[in-house]
Amino acid sequence: MGRKVLIVGGVAGGASAAARMRRLDETAEIIMFERDEYISFANCGLPYYIGGTIQEREKLLVQTPESMEARFNIDVRIRSEVIGLDPVRKVVQVQSKDKGNYEESYDYLVLAPGAKAMKPPIEGIHSEKILTLRNIPDTDRIKAYVDSKATKSAVVIGGGFVGVEMAENLNHRGLKVTLVEAAPHLLAPFDSDIVSAAEKELSEHGVKLILNDGVKFFRDQENGVEVNLNSGTQLTADLVILAIGVVPDTAFLKDSGLKLGGRGHIIVNEHMETSAQDVYAVGDAIEVVDFVNEQATTIPLAGPANKQGRIAADNIAGVGSSYNGTQGTSIIKVFGLTAACTGNNERTLRRLEIPYETITVHLGSHASYYPGGFMMTLKLIFAPSGKVLGAQGIGKDGVDKRIDVIATAIRFGGTVSDLAELELSYAPPYSSAKDPVNVAGFVAENVLAGRVDILSVEEFVNYDRSNSVLVDVRTETEFNNGHIEGALNIPVDSLRARLGELDPDKEIIEYCQIGLRGYVASRILTQHGYKVKNITGGYSSCLMSPVKPPCVVPVKTSENVTIDPDTQVVKGKTEKEISDYKKSHSNCGICSE
């Protein structure tokens, strides 16, 4: 036999390390320890099995102990928990349900213990009706509750990715769901101006949101759980899902001498090596480097864990791979919407005092003249040098591929000019000749070149407008269907002829529907000597923002067609009314711009 490699934990990081190790070294003795029976499963699919989208439980199991042994000749020891490590003697202590307690020696060790659900010392938190979701046994317990006819309601505590996915899937199963989040907004990787659309989507599908409020204590009842919040609000549900985050499952390493971070995460270098010789660590239990800001952080995601497992195996086998940091590229389904992000958000950059600019665009998922398209919102965050620092998107279609393109650009150190120049696939059913990624690059280039001076909605709300004029450059129809209070309506096509209506001594703050006509208006006004600021993303951004300015929104148009004030979706009593309206306003910017 060759070198002896022990792997503690399976799922993404550990299973990837084991399989890669075998592919690189057929002679190695590889032993994997897993505390329960499931060594490799689709962790991210668990909420969708509970919700019924995934029907067959077996499809969640990526590898079984039997298949891992048959294909990769790996000694898989389930129901075996590693409870200690002595890196000097190069042994681990194992507590096995089948073999009892024993020591196992190693030449190389890969630690992939993962993370466990956070359960703070809140009164009543150990109730049998308060469950967490991390693995297959957790899933089975929750699904048994949901399948019971007696379970009618649930409270989800925590508005991260798991909390939102669970809220949606419990809603799909017909439960009355309340989602409680202690922060002002859900989904922390997103900025509030993007995530507000996801919050609206949840509310419209019947999920009750309680934000900026945490749990004070739980109280068991005969038929459910009483949830008491810090605000004094009292909720009652048949079931509570606790999804407030995770902590590294590294308590067994406390006497090992391994260097750990402040919250217990294992410290590793770019080769996934720990502070102990021949000991590697991967996955949710390690501290990583943020690829964008180069600071130590923790980002528990399946994709990075898989890559880290592969890199650890490479280095054990002498290949010499490096892990260059985590971007945090993530995506989530929120009923009919998709939200995705990559890189750093504004909150992180402000905390680290890293200078940045942002722009927001609202564009179609594909060519506006091809049926079936939807508007998406794309936010780009970039340095004054033009380097892309992050991006966020939300919409019904096409968000995933745009964020993936920008994530790729970030990985290769790309700039906004690189986004503008990208040659991306185009046909009317899939995109536009100017893809939203290109347009985001164009807009950012214009900002950096000084061709346009922009205000975010939040900046506009807090801006001193004592010596300014607010101008809405959309059509009269659009203006009458909703506008910012106090705005003067001068459509962009009439702007040159009506310059005399504007005081050259006052600053002009102008906006359109999504930003495009606002840019044109800005260029006209600037070249006629006016000082101009354009609200990035236009009226659509104003409607999405949680700090939206006061808007005047009539209920109906003169054509007996309603326009939703938040989404600008055209609605009518009949399909013909809607079709006629869109035809007569095809260039006004409500239906497309």
Strands 176-181 and 153-157 come out as: parallel
pTM: 0.90
Alpha-carbon torsion (124, 127, 131, 137), positive or negative = positive
One-letter amino acid of 69 = E
**Between 111 and 551, residue with greater pLDDT:** 111
**pLDDT for the residue numbered 593:** 40
- Other beta carbons within 10 Å of 85: 26
Residue 63, beta-bridge partner list? 40
**pLDDT for the residue numbered 11:** 85
Q: Above 50 in pLDDT, residue 557? A: no
Q: Do the Cβ atoms of 106 and 86 come closer than 8 Å?
A: no
Paired tokens of 220? 């068991």
Q: Above 60 in pLDDT, residue 162? A: yes
- Please compute the mean of the pLDDT values over residues 310-336 and round it to a whole number: 97
Within its chain, how far is the Cα of 190 from the centroid? 6
244/132 Cα distance (integer angstroms): 9
**pLDDT for the residue numbered 223:** 86
Q: Residues 84-108: pLDDT tens digits?
A: 999 999 999 999 999 999 999 999 9
Residue 80, beta-bridge partner list? 96
Strand, helix or coil for residue 220: strand
Q: Residues 417-426: pLDDT tens digits?
A: 999 999 999 9
- Please compute the mean of the pLDDT values over residues 47-75 and round it to a whole number: 93
Residue 534, beta-bridge partner list? 454, 510
Domains of the chain: 4-114+247-316 (3.50.50.60), 130-244 (3.50.50.60), 336-448 (3.50.50.60), 454-584 (3.40.250.10)
- Please compute the mean of the pLDDT values over residues 509-521 and round it to a whole number: 95
Q: Residues 245-288: pLDDT tens digits?
A: 999 999 999 999 999 999 999 999 999 999 999 999 999 999 99
Active-site entry in 44, 341, 542, 551: 44
526/299 Cα distance (integer angstroms): 44
DSSP state of 499: G
- Other beta carbons within 10 Å of 219: 14
Q: Above 60 in pLDDT, residue 516? A: yes
Within its chain, how far is the Cα of 43 from the centroid? 16
Catalytic annotation on 44?
Answer: yes
**pLDDT for the residue numbered 149:** 86
DSSP string, 54-106: S--GGGGEEE-HHHHHHHH--EEEETEEEEEEETTTTEEEEEETTTEEEEEE-
Strand, helix or coil for residue 314: helix
241/180 Cα distance (integer angstroms): 10
Q: Above 70 in pLDDT, residue 590? A: no
Q: Above 60 in pLDDT, residue 559? A: no
Q: Above 70 in pLDDT, residue 142? A: yes
Mean pLDDT of the chain: 93
Paired tokens of 284? 């949710």
Q: Above 90 in pLDDT, residue 588? A: no
157/160 Cα distance (integer angstroms): 9
Q: Do the Cβ atoms of 531 and 469 come closer than 8 Å?
A: no
